Amino acid sequence: MNFIIAKGVIRVPGSLPYPPRRLCVKIYRMGLRRASHAVYDCEYHLVWCPKYRKKLFGQEYLRERVKELFREIAEEYEFMIEELEVAADHVHILVSFPPRYSISTVVKTLKSISARELFREHPSLRQRYWKGELWEDGYFARTVGDEVTTDIIKQYIKYHEAEKQSPAQLDIFKLR
């Protein structure tokens, strides 16, 4: 079998302030991933918004920082981000993660750590989000499978800003 083994300690200067974790995930050529006691191929399209749907990420430096945070968190917790887009007022992520995590755990991890880091780095955000909550409580989750393929989700995430946001934007998901 041909596979890639990713091993290492994820702790570099300037990384997030949580303990290092040993990473050992085998990635098979067919897209299957293997953890210590599971072989899986689960991808999810996740979407959520900042609190009050404020256009927080209209500023490029915040947009890039939150992308960087999501990638660091994903690396630490063995999530694989296939596609990531941070719009002014919402986030799209196409992510795969081991079956030991639930969807809600993954969303909670990404939201809580990114919010804590952004509040720490940009104290002025605490004034805009006075209850100390950066993200809305809810989220959208869709599994990626036969009829809604990974390519369709990637296309939607990459090009959703090019079109004016409207109900017609959802035509990409219309099934036969």
Domain coordinates in residue numbering, the chain: 42-173
Highest mean pLDDT among 67-71, 128-132, 151-155: 67-71
pTM of the model: 0.71
Q: What is the mean pLDDT of the chain?
A: 78
Provide the annotated active-site residues.
Answer: 156
Residue 116 pLDDT exceeds 90:
yes
Handedness of CA 98, 100, 105, 111 (dihedral sign): negative
Would you give the distance in Å from CA 172 to the centre of its chain? Answer: 21
Would you give the distance in Å from CA 24 to the centre of its chain? Answer: 20
Q: Coil, helix or strand for 16?
A: coil
The pLDDT tens digits for 149-159 are: 777 777 878 77
Give the helix ranges, DSSP H, for 21-161.
60-76, 103-121, 125-128, 150-159
pLDDT for residue 93: 96
The C-alpha atoms of residue 91 and residue 104 are separated, in whole angstroms, by 16
Output the CATH code of domain 42-173.
3.30.70.1290
